[in-house]
Copies of this chain bind each other. A is one copy, B any other.
Amino acid sequence: VKHNLPPLHYHDYLKLDAILNSQKTRSKEIGHEAHDETLFIIIHQVYELWFKQLLHELSSIHNIFVTNKVAETHMGLIVARLERMGEIFKLLIDQIRVLETMTPLDFLDFRDFLFPASGFQSFQFRRLEVLLGLKSKQRLPFSSQPYTAALRSDQSKELTQLEEGPSLFDAVEDWLERTPFLNLADFDFWNLYRTAVSNMLRTDQQTVTSYKELGPEEQARNIKIIHEAEQMFKALFDEQEFEKSRLNGTWRLSMKALHAALFIQVYRDQPVLQQPFRLLMALINLDELFTNWRYRHAVMAKRMLGTKIGTGGSSGSDYLTASADQHRIFQDFNRLTTFFIPRSQLPVLPSTIERELGFYYSAK
């Protein structure tokens, strides 16, 4: 590739004039310069730069899912980009340690000047949540206003529109539903699997019953959990039951998508399923890292603010703590593990099917 662009200087390429002149401390403006406000600004700018990068990766992945319907040649790329997002999330978590070198007393030197600015006003963060698949109705209510109230009106509109289109969650669900091999001709896989799960749950129940040390109360509680699992599992194969369990919030994915996710995970060693398995793992990792970040952030807020309200007028830390779990996107994959059975008890795939799951060149 030839080009006629002038030679490049590092300083101009990175637009360092703009980047490095964007730290105007409010405290200095007011005439009481606080040393640590620079850290406060820079760390948030770094967060926003990483959010931009996360959105760049997420959009590209979303696009491959929605537009290209995930050709097999794209699988490695999608997984690599999800894993990159994971590495960025680890940084976001570790970064909190740097912020915590600012003590609450240091923060007080400029905290009041910032009112009512708040992390709740980060548009990119909200975009990230919405694009991943967080729905307004799933959000933990905070004050009587919608979560978009803190944002500029153009940003608020953009989010509302974004929420109407397919999220990554929707795209993944759609992709799972298109998984081939869920109908395995005359090999009655799902019936065999259901029997194996029933056996497993029955064994669990026997274990609990025979373990006297648990005490009657605890035994009863455990048996209840097992029965619920049994019901959850049954509902996975009955369309009407399933819709009920979806309405009450047990599941978010469709029945077909859940079947596919189960199949991919238990037969993950089959060549054609190896990358789909990694993709699911990468999603689970990402969801977990996001959750860990939310909680870590909440703990930091508690330390920094005590029981005081945040800079944006919120008693943020309790809200943040509760949202860590509530705002997870891919919880279904965690719940699904309840129904995994040991590999030794998995139905053996007929060789005709195994062939289908392999590479062309080895099957010739």
Contacts and interface: CB of A to CB of B under 8 A. Distances in A.
A160 B23 CA distance: 26
Contact of A30 (B1, B16, B38): B1
Nearest to A335: B306
B52 A8 contact: no
A334 B318 CA distance: 13
Interface residues of A, number: 154
Contacts of A356: 360-361
A73 B355 CA distance: 12
A42 interface: yes
A86 to B, nearest CB: 9
A357 B71 CA distance: 14
Interface string A184-224: 00000000000000000001100110010111011001100
A229 B315 CA distance: 12
A32 B218 contact: no
Interface string A142-180: 011100010010000000000000000000000000001
A342 B48 contact: no
A278 B76 contact: yes
Contacts of A281: 103
B218 A144 contact: yes
A60 B35 contact: yes
Interface string A349-362: 00000011111111
A304 interface: yes
Interface string A277-298: 1100100110010011001100
Contacts of A335: 306-307
Contact of A307 (B207, B229, B277, B362): B229
Nearest to A285: B100
Contact of A105 (B20, B121, B265): B265
Given A26-B5, A288-B303, A277 B13 contact: no
Given A15-B24, A105-B340, A304-B337, A1 B32 contact: yes
A210 to B, nearest CB: 10
A55 to B, nearest CB: 10
A64 to B, nearest CB: 11
Interface string A49-72: 110110010001000000000001
Interface stretch (A109-117, A132-140, A234-242, A252-260): A109-117
A304 to B, nearest CB: 7
A327 to B, nearest CB: 13
15 contacts: A1-B344, A5-B26, A10-B121, A10-B312, A15-B24, A18-B21, A42-B50, A42-B52, A72-B359, A76-B278, A112-B342, A143-B215, A225-B308, A292-B299, A306-B335
Q: Across chains A and B, which 4 residue pairs bring their CB atoms closest together, nearest first?
A: A306-B338, A10-B121, A15-B22, A306-B337
Given A5-B29, A80-B101, A109-B342, 7 more contacts: A20-B124, A72-B358, A75-B274, A112-B207, A306-B340, A358-B360, A360-B362
